[in-house]
Amino acid sequence: MEKITKDHSLSGSQDILAENIQKLKEIFPEVFSEGRVDFEKLQLLLGDLITPNDELYGLNWWGKNEAIKESMKRSLGTLRPDKESSKNWEKTENIYIEGDNLEVLKLLQKSYNGKIKMIYIDPPYNTGKDFVYKDNYKDNLKNYLEQTDQVDSEGVKQSTNTKEDGRYHSNWLNMMYPRLRLSRNLLKDDGVILISIDDNEVDNLKKLCDEIFGETNFISNLIWQKKTGASDSSTISTITESIIVYCKDINFIENTFSRNFESFDLTRYRNKDEHFELRGPYYTDNLDRGGLQYSDSLNFGIECPDGTLSFPNGRKEFQNDGWIWKWSKSKVQWARENNFIEFKKSDNKNSGWSVYYKNYLNVDNENNQIVRSAPHKNLITSILNASSSSDMKKLFDERVFQYTKPVDLIKLLIKYVNFKNNEIILDFFSGSGTTAHSVMQLNSEDELNRKHIQVQLPEITDEKSEAFKSGYKTITEIGKERIRRAGDTIFAEKKEELDQLKAKASLIQTDEEKAKIQELEEIIAKLDIGFKVFKLDSSNIEAWDTEMPETVQGIQTRLEESRNHLKKGRTEEDLLYELLLKQGLLLTSQIEERSIAGARVYSISHGELFICMNAPITMEVIEGIGNWGKESIAEAIVDLKPVLVLKDEAFGKDDAFKTNAELRLKNEFGFAKVNTL
Ligand SMILES: C[S@@+](CC[C@H](N)C(=O)[O-])C[C@H]1O[C@@H](n2cnc3c(N)ncnc32)[C@H](O)[C@@H]1O
């Protein structure tokens, strides 16, 4: 039975450095000698690939090495649930995290590795006036806890990165590097990242992304025309900004980007079949034509489902009445094999059948499987930044946030990506929550249920600002309130639309009316306007904390708390979430609770993790947990190997009981691991 100590892999976020070393060991075991790397040997093994340092091409800045190291350090912090400021906690699968995004990204590494379809971020542009968070690589978590409370004597945020600062660009790059590096790990193989930026840092950002994501994974520099004119320049006015797009791996993105269907009447495409994911929705059209140039070769019999031959114009046999099939014999054969033909019974046709072909949205029928629409262009001219103010005015009387992006812009960017149901969008510079708003809006317009994760620093608002005067002391308060209000508005609008549709429908509803009503009811039923709030904090478990208190009193309290495991003011629920996060389970995992022989036991994510913090416990409790584990294994669709976490004191001083319990849990009940705190 392993005890999870401070250095154990389960007491912190993913140990990226250790994992990289392990990978290197697997490929080049010969370069390791007494646990250290023989760099000269590694150079020899890599041969011509090594470039002398002074000839290297790339972006360099002050502090880069530290930034690289920082991206590999693990976090010992945690994310504490905050049910009170959440919305629909029990049901929702959206997440709002308050905290510095570097620590948060580290904490998400295990659970969300390879799980995010799209990242959109709108980081500080480094204009010289905006807030650029200053990391403290020695103890970033402590720094965060201090910094979120800090303003200097003049009320100026200490983190404003001014152009006069000699390391103006370096500061920004040091802030961005580790965050981008960590965010890449979270992307699915077919995932993409889109980053808003303006001329201040666009060159640096592009180079930085080339380094982190790889030049070959660059997709586009989208130019967004955000205004029609600007009078604030004596030279040339800038009316555009950029959205830089990279993918995780160019080899996996065949279906990642949607096509531009603007010229299509999308309302026609109402049917779906088993090819929906690839081919999109479809409509049917008659395969025969009367007005085309006649050819005998296009006048042949097609075998219908009951064996009857059907000729063009519904004839039963060959005859030249001018009617032909649209497609040749070989193409019809190909189309039948590939599910492009549909037969419908018809009393008006002599053959008794009408033959249709399917027009899928994503397929060019003239060239068989080729997608026919155009790709999106890298120029966006249809949405002006001014619309972001009206987005916010609909929700707030006061101007609570200055840097909001237009909902229509983010919606458009999300639409560029082909989402599957339940895929996740992450925004870790979320500001007023525009990404969350856009996701909910889009989910209310189509059949998909995209999920979102927002991360935002509780940056304090300026005392002179309208936000502060309206009671919003931090940007997270603005963000959460915006998402709450936007969700309610979207929901109310959909309900209203449904009521109107029902009121307008005929007394006996037509099939079309029924279908529309049903479609809207389904959208309303699946609409998730809630979010679970989590807050970044130091570990709940004393023994895992990085900081040793400075006073004797503090050390005494620490010792006392170590015995109880939980820090003062922390709850068992805080602990559950810390353990599940550090085990690599999703923050939205299902948590079930049972009382077993007087002990409170939790099963997380349908039996992946069991937790019991009672001490002492009896063999009856062990058996109860074992049986619950066995039950979960039987019900699981995937191979399930439950892990159990107990208190070290659960067994008192009875080592035989401890050994016996572990053996039974593993051999009799199928548990993979039993750990103690
Ligand atoms: C340009 S704004 C994003 C605006 C957002 N797109 C919107 O539409 O509301 C950038 C946000 O990133 C936040 N931010 C800056 N540094 C951060 C950090 N280290 N962790 C989390 N958020 C941060 C700032 O507080 C700011 O709200």
The DSSP code for 601 is E
Nearest CA residue ID for atom 26, ligand 1 = 431
How far does the centroid of ligand 1 lie from the alpha carbon of residue 99, in Å? 11
Pocket, ligand 1, Cβ cutoff 6 A? 100-101, 122, 124, 131, 133, 401, 403-405, 429, 431-432, 434, 455-457, 459, 475
Where residue 548 falls among pLDDT bands split at 50, 70, 90? Answer: low
How many degrees, rounded to 5, is the angle at CA 186 between CA 259 and CA 91?
85
The rounded Cα 391 to chain-centroid distance in angstroms is: 24
Q: In sequence order, what are the residues at sequence separation of 6 or more whose Cβ sits closer than 8 angstroms to the Cβ of residue 47? A: none
**Nearest-atom index, ligand 1, CA of 104:** 20
Distance CA(182)–CA(191), nearest Å, equals 14
Per-residue pLDDT band at 562 (split at 50, 70, 90): low
Determine the distance separating the centroid of ligand 1 and the alpha carbon of 162, expressed in angstroms: 17
Total length of the chain? 677
Cα of 190 to ligand 1 centre, how many Å? 26
Q: Which atom of ligand 1 is nearest to the CA of 101?
A: 20
Which residue reads 């530290």 in tokens?
66
Ligand 1 centre to CA of 495 (Å) is 32
User: If you measure from the C-alpha of residue 196 to the centroid of ligand 1, how many angstroms do you get, rounded to a whole number?
Assistant: 12
Most informative mutation of 456, 460, 534 for ligand 1 (most atoms within 8 A of CB):
456
Residue 636 identity (one-letter amino acid): A
3-state DSSP percent of the chain in helix, strand and coil, to 5: 40, 20, 40
Closest residue by Cα to residue 64 from 186, 185, 201, 167: 167
Q: Is pLDDT of 141 > 50?
A: yes
Atom of ligand 1 nearest to the CA of 430: 5
| pLDDT tier for residue 280 given thresholds of 50, 70 and 90 | confident
- 160 CA distance to ligand 1 centroid (A)? 13
CA distance 662 to 677: 15
DSSP assignment of 130-184? SB-----SS-HHHHHHHHTT---TTS--TTB--TTSTTHHHHHHHHHHHHHHHHH
Q: Write the CB contacts of 84 (distance below 8 Å, at least 6 apart in sequence).
A: none
Beta strands in 538-649 (DSSP E): 591-596, 599-604, 609-612, 643-646
Q: What is the pLDDT of residues 390-426, one digit of tens each?
A: 999 999 999 999 899 999 999 999 999 999 999 999 9
594, HSE (Cβ side, Cα atoms, 13 Å): 14
- More confident position, 68 or 368: 68
The kind and range of the H/E element at 33 are strand 32-33
Q: Using 50, 70 and 90 to split pLDDT, how confident is the model at 99? A: very high
The domains found in the chain, sorted by start residue, are 78-257+378-533 (3.40.50.150), 266-375 (no CATH), 542-676 (no CATH)
Residue 496 phi, psi (nearest 5): -60, -45
- Taking only the tens place, the pLDDT of each residue in 283-323 is 999 999 988 889 999 999 999 999 999 999 999 999 999 99
d(CA 420, CA 424) in angstroms, rounded, equals 9
* Closest CA to ligand 1's atom 27: 431
> Contact at 8 Å (CB) between 93 and 528?
yes
Give the global pTM.
0.83
Q: How far is the CA of 414 from the centre of ligand 1 (A)?
A: 19
- The phi, psi pair for 540, rounded to 5°, reads -75, -20
